[in-house]
Amino acid sequence: MRTVLTYGTFDLLHIGHINLLRRARDLGDRLIVALSTDEFNLAEKNKVCVNTYADRKVILESLRFVDLVIPEENWEQKVTDVVTHEVDVFTIGDDWKGHFDFLKDKCEVVYLPRTANISTTEIKQNIATGGRG
């Protein structure tokens, strides 16, 4: 069984998230999503989510191509997660290209292309300015 691991906040789930998660799952037989906790988002990313961690977790768990959701509580946990969950492939959006190459001695690292013209930040900005959401 080939296990894939990805990370993210996945707030206001949109087609870009779905595309990334589907392509991640296509890299193996099992997809684990490390979901940023509310505390981690606020303290480390200066980000406040519209949906709580608990709600985002339920949403991700309802997707047929997500097999397990675990909490992302700090930047340093990636090596531990890879080892603990016997991960074969670590994947993340290509906007992080090169940042996680240090994992290559533990597993394959794949940077997936992002879906053009969509992001949670843009959705939030559109809502705030009364544009299309």
Task: Name the pairing type of β-strands 68-72 and 108-112.
Answer: unpaired
Instruction: Report, as residue numbers or ranges, the catalytic residues.
Output: 45, 47
C-alpha dihedral sign at 107, 3, 90, 38: negative
Confidence band of 119 (pLDDT split at 50, 70, 90): low
Nearest Cα to Cα of residue 68 among 37, 103, 25: 25
CA-wise closest residue to 8 among 29, 37, 28: 37
Those residues whose C-beta lies under 8 Å from the C-beta of residue 4, and which sit 6 or more positions away, are 24, 25, 27, 28, 30, 31, 32, 87, 88, 89, 90, 91
The pLDDT value given to residue 12: 86
Q: What is the pLDDT of residues 45-99, one digit of tens each?
A: 898 999 999 999 999 999 999 999 999 999 999 999 999 999 999 999 999 999 9
125 versus 1: which is more confidently predicted? 1
pLDDT > 90: what percent of the chain? 80
pLDDT at 13 over 60: yes
Report pLDDT for 1.
95
